[in-house]
Amino acid sequence: MINVELKGGAVKEFENGTTPAEIAKSIGAGLYKSVCCAKVDGDLCDLRTPLEKDCKVELLTFDNVDGQKTFWHTASHVLAQAVKRLYPNAKCAIGPAVDNGFYYDFDVEKPFSPEDLEKIKAEMKKIVKSGLELERVELSPEEAEKKLEEMNEPYKVELVKEHSDKGEHITFYKQGEFIDLCAGPHLMSVAPIKAIELTACTGAYWRGDANNAQLCRVYGVAFPKASMLEEHLKKLEEAKLRDHNKLGRELEYFTTVDYVGQGLPILLPKGARVVQLLQRWVEDVEQSKGCLLTKTPLLAKRDLYKISGHWDHYLDGMFVLGDPDDEEKECFALRPMTCPFQYQVYLNKQRSYRDLPMRLTETSTLFRNEASGEMHGLIRVRQFTISEGHYILRPDQLEQEFKGCLELAKYFLDTVGLLENCTFRFSQWDPENKNNKYEGTKEQWEESQAVMKTILDDLDVDYEVGIDEAAFYGPKLDIQYKNVFGKEDTIVTIQIDMLLAEKFGMYYIDKDGQKKLPYIIHRTSLGCFERTLAYMIERFAGVMPLWLAPEQIRLLPIKDGNVEYAQGIADKLTSLGMRVTVDSRDENIGPKIKAARLERIPYILVIGDNEMNSSTVTVRSRKRGEIPNMPVDEFVALVKNEVDTKEK
């Protein structure tokens, strides 16, 4: 017998080998029908997993994030089964759950049309209605490879071959005639999947590599209740209205041009102005925090990247000028990060312990060779600008400086209105990674991660752990943000590096006269300016906070006789640094107001004879509504205070 601690601390006794599914059934039929997966002593596991020792079991339903992903993962198998029924020659690639649903990649003769998706969805509903149970199957690597070859599934064969050297059994999940290579976990049956929608069909390269086959990716979402799907689809429609990739173009913040290149957005005057305002603000605040501004080259010889390790660990993500394999000729690469360049500032002369911490910063333009399938508006691009910094410090200064970096990032994110929707991830290495991703020894990684954990716990940071998400030289705290569709990206990162200083010989002379190696913090303060602009467009539905709005105030004279008075007010506001225009077109006031509202102007001032005679303005505010007949000086004081306090 084993003792199992359940939710609320209750301990029950069960037979050795009892599964979480059986435990759920013993508690009640309702729970058994709704449970999706389980956590055993904190580790996510399948409901079919035999329990063989005393443990703590948490039964997870669709209300839990892991429960949702298990639900959606099973739905992805239903999708694949439906596709194989309708298109037997289709080859299956991968089909994971993601933050807002699931997808599955298929190799098919031609991409699925909207009509095809409707057929597939109808077949999925038939499969669900049949209530097929899922069975977990284990095979040896040799058996698994043979089976998948017989099934003519080359992408699955490739995956099995990568895992065969571990000597572990390979798991499959079977439902009816369909069987798929999968580690799980999964629902007990397909029956709980009551509501399904296939939301999109796009192209995607196998493993995100443009040199590989292009596959057909089908996105979907599923829920236990039809009402939940209806609510989700309604939110999706609302999200489309805020999507920066649509709204940012309509409001003329940015554009893209095919013959310029994918992932290379062009900031139009509005977008360029917002980014300029953000950059100036960030640089001024950083200077007040003791940061030293640098300006370094946009490219360097491969020699620099070989010293730092980027040549060995990041070459695929770099734009290379020349033949990287020809050692006889010079070869350059555009910089994907600034750290090895800024280290040269430190190395310009011998440093003492008194020089530390040295906080080097730069508004850096960086270049990364992102996969074409990953490009998205301003969020995922190949050239971007970032508020980058490298703090070189003594070991005893690490915690205080890390705290300062975190406080600075939180201040910036809070001021631009994004912090409340951010989450934190402690990104760690994976000692089992076989792709030569990491530098350093196991002992160095354990030390740096232990130090970082202590700091994060001391600062009471509520974080999740991300295994195999670390940089190649050290662990990091990633501040994550989701776009309106639920896709998560890193907006700010703070990294601890105990390795690269030695590679560059970055010693300092300590109090005892001995040469010592410093620690380095790699950090961004507001992150990528383009990505921040995208998130702000979505967060504020295109209505920028007044202090950042590219056009803050527009004055609308009702007739020609009001233009001079309007221009005088505009000149006064402009002299205070406000961004103001006067719409003096020979047009009725109604269309002028409509145009200003469509452009999301924060303040619209209507100027007629009444306003002229009383030295007032009639104010239409995007945030405060209509404010009739306000004295000009009172309005000036109102907007000046809103700008000075950076009101959201």
Separation between Cα atoms, residue 192 and residue 78, nearest integer Å: 12
> Considering the chain, what percentage of its residues have pLDDT values greater than 70?
99
Q: Is 77 annotated as a binding residue?
A: no
Q: For 143-191, what is each residue's pLDDT tens digit?
A: 998 999 999 999 999 988 887 766 678 899 999 999 999 988 999 999 9
Mean pLDDT for 127-140 is 93
Q: Find out whether 322 and 329 touch, Cβ atoms under 8 Å.
A: yes
pLDDT grade for 385, boundaries at 50, 70 and 90: very high
CA 614 to chain centre: 52
Phi, psi for residue 577 in degrees, rounded to 5: 90, 5
Cα separation, 182 vs 423, whole angstroms: 29
Q: Report d(CA 167, CA 348) in Å as an integer.
A: 52
Poorest-pLDDT segment among 198-212, 213-227, 343-357, 433-447: 433-447
Torsion of CA 48, 52, 58, 64, to 10 degrees: -30
For the segment 224-251, the average pLDDT, to the nearest whole number, is: 93
If one counts every other C-beta atom within 10 angstroms of the C-beta of residue 85, the result is 17
pLDDT tens digits for range 498-528: 889 999 999 999 999 999 999 999 999 998 9
- What fold is seen in the domain 66-225? Threonyl-tRNA Synthetase; Chain A, domain 2 (3.30.980)
pLDDT for the residue 435: 65
Least confident span in 183-187, 204-208, 322-326 = 204-208
232 a known binding residue? no
Residue 238 and residue 207: Cα distance in Å, rounded? 31
- Phi first, then psi: give them for residue 234, nearest 5 degrees: -65, -45
Q: Given this model, what pLDDT does residue 99 score?
A: 83
CA distances to 105, 237, 544, 639 from 244, in Å: 26, 14, 12, 26
Tell me the residue ranges of DSSP E strands in 487-610: 488-497, 508-509, 515-516, 519-528, 553-557, 580-582, 603-607
Sign of the Cα pseudo-torsion (250, 254, 258, 264, in order): negative
Tell me how far apart the alpha carbons of residues 443 and 638 are, in angstroms, rounded to a whole number.
58
Contact in structure between 424 and 479 (CB atoms under 8 Å): yes
Percent of the chain scoring above 90 in pLDDT:
77
> Tell me, what's the pLDDT at 284?
97
Lookup: tokens for 609: 């004879």
Residues 386-430 have pLDDT tens digits of 999 999 999 999 999 999 999 999 999 999 999 999 999 999 998
Does 375 score more than 90 pLDDT?
Answer: no
Residues 90-114 pLDDT 10s:
999 999 999 889 999 999 999 999 9
What pLDDT sits at residue 210? Answer: 75
The model's pLDDT over 312-322, given as tens digits with 9 standing for 90+, comes to 888 989 999 99
Identify residue 540 by its one-letter amino acid code. F
Q: So what CATH class is 546-645?
A: alpha beta
What does the block give as tokens for 604? 């619209």
551 CB-near residues (< 8 Å, 6+ apart): 270, 579, 580, 581, 599, 601
Average pLDDT, the chain: 93
Which whole number is the average pLDDT over 438-458? 89
Q: Domain ranges in the chain?
A: 2-61, 66-225, 254-294+335-540, 546-645
How many residues are given for the chain?
648
Is 186 annotated as a binding-site member?
A: no
Contact predicate 378/312, CB 8 Å: no
CA distances from 500 to 310, 493, 520 (A): 11, 17, 8
529-559 pLDDT, tens digit per residue, is 999 999 999 999 999 999 999 999 999 999 9
CB 393 within 8 A of CB 353: no
Any idea which fold 2-61 has? Ubiquitin-like (UB roll) (3.10.20)
The CATH fold assigned to 254-294+335-540 is BirA Bifunctional Protein; domain 2 (3.30.930)
